[in-house]
Amino acid sequence: MRACLSLFGVALLLAGGAPLARADVTADPWFVAGRQAVAQARAEVGPQKPAKNVILFIGDGMGIATVTAARIREGQLRGETGEENFLAFERLPFTAFAKTYNTDFQVPDSAGTITAMLSGVKTRAGVLGVDASVVRGDFAAAAKGSVPTLLEQAEQRGLWTGIVTTTTITHATPAGGYAHTPERDWEVDAKLSSEARAAGFPDIARQLVEFSHGDGIEVALGGGRAYFLPASAQDPEDPKLTGARQDGRDLVAEWRARNPTGAWVWNAQQLAAVDPAATPRVLGLFDPSHMKFEADRAGDAGGEPSLSQMTEAALRLLERAPKGFFLLVESGRIDHGHHAGNAYRALGEAVELSNAVRHARERTRPDETLIVVTADHSHTLTIAGYPKRGNPILGVVVGSSGEAAPDDKPAKDLSGKPYTTLGYANGPGYPGASDAQPEGSKHLPHFAKSSSGKVSARPDLTNAQTEAPHYLQESTLPLVAETHAGEDVPIYAGGPSAALFHGAREQNFVYHALAAALGIAPP
């Protein structure tokens, strides 16, 4: 075993690809029910052709309202009315719905949901790669409750694997492919509890670098560079910044030592220069933290790649896999835009996810590659009022305040003020908000205030720039950050075994259907 591992770290890692301590998932009720659901789905659609490759796209926080608004937004950016548009993944031939609740939460988080999608076992909120027996933060129980992931099983079967995200590579969704931890926030050793740190429990960044299933992950692209560098190291993009690790370890250097023929890159130019024929592995960490929103990417000094560019780069390497590949792609900042109450950025991320799916479909063979696009959970975004056809999706409602014919004038509420088509059930865009705003924001809705400085009414949007990048949509319930929502999320699928995706399903069905398509037997 590698140096610097405690008993807990050893239990979580693998020797020769064989788990040292794992939960018996085949006896888990969620796992059993998932296998049965896939068997029933197969009986309903008949025999399905196996898939050589699988690409799982996850739009973090991309509920139905986000899909609809992004569809309209993309069309309007092309000068169309927008409603008739289709996002790239909406053209996939099969659809289903996933129920997203965690075992302990009615409205879920991203850690529990990705564990369901990649392990076949529903679990608690806040934990990754462990079953529901593990209480959040209980590192001593993590080894016994650890569950195998689809990415690990793909590696053990000889497939090549990859992870692409716009968040930190150690964030909940991407980490769901390789990490086993009772706390999703333990991305770096500095964030571990004092007890877990003293016991030598491996943080998520360590688990990525020390991953030893099969021959290891071929490509990992995302943000979170600071979590891999010691506090004494300067960031390569911004010398004023340093790493975040307190243990003194340089995980980038360790990764390079483990992969002497691999490529470590930190900007788009370096990524584009990688020769997949001569480079078997790539680690790309393009920002100290999360990558820039697509709306802000052009202003990045280091030159970050887009989600589409990262997806294409991953496929250039993985498409050479003799036995096939499994690729996880996350558009993670849809979620962050929504939490900030900023539909402009959230929809921009969703449109870029559509672009990435389009590139993936163009680059792969539909008879070999199963493409599945879904979300881990929804958000409280709403599309309401009676705007006329083609009304700017980010604009105020122009039309009727009721079901009468539109009159080409802004609709008014009962106090005589305009309102937007998009809004949030909760979040920072409430009357009187001044500090809760998205990254780089300098503009909030214009709130009416009395002479005492207190909010007297909802904002008058007559002259508000509701389509500006930093505008926050109004929210009904005042919160520092908008929350997730609990309704079912869509699943779109195309390629071999895609017909398995139909009907309303538990979220862990995604794992079982993908495993069936790849011919992966239960552990």
How many whole angstroms separate alpha carbon 422 and alpha carbon 63?
A: 14
How many whole angstroms separate alpha carbon 205 and alpha carbon 112?
A: 19
How many whole angstroms separate alpha carbon 233 and alpha carbon 245?
A: 9
User: Which residues make Cβ contacts (< 8 Å) with residue 216, sequence separation at least 6?
Assistant: 155, 258, 259, 281
Tokens read off for 300: 């990045």
In the sheet that holds 475-478, the strands lie side by side as 381-383, 422-427, 475-478
CB atoms within 10 A of CB 464: 17
Active site (annotated) includes residue 6: no
How many whole angstroms separate alpha carbon 240 and alpha carbon 235?
A: 7
Q: What is the DSSP string of 437-470?
A: --TT--------B-TTS-B-SS---TT--TTSTT
Alpha-carbon distances of 316 from 188, 274, 338, 368, rounded to whole Å: 30, 10, 32, 16
Let me know if 248 is exposed, middle or buried by CB neighbors in 10 A (0-12, 13-18, 19+): exposed
Q: Which residue has the tokens 């509890």?
A: 193
Q: Which residue has the tokens 């409603």?
A: 83
- C-alpha count within 13 angstroms, C-beta hemisphere, residue 517: 32
User: Which residues make Cβ contacts (< 8 Å) with residue 98, sequence separation at least 6?
Assistant: 374, 375, 488, 489, 490, 491, 505, 506, 507, 509, 510
Cα torsion 514, 68, 290, 478: sign: negative
Given 6, 110, 289, 354, the catalytic residue: 110
Task: Please provide the distance, in angstroms rounded to a whole number, between the alpha carbons at the two ends of the chain.
Answer: 23
- The answer to whether 2 and 210 have CB atoms below 8 angstroms apart is yes
Tokens read off for 154: 């793909």
How many whole angstroms separate alpha carbon 411 and alpha carbon 216?
A: 57
Helices (H), 282-365: 307-318, 333-339, 343-363
The catalytic residues are 110
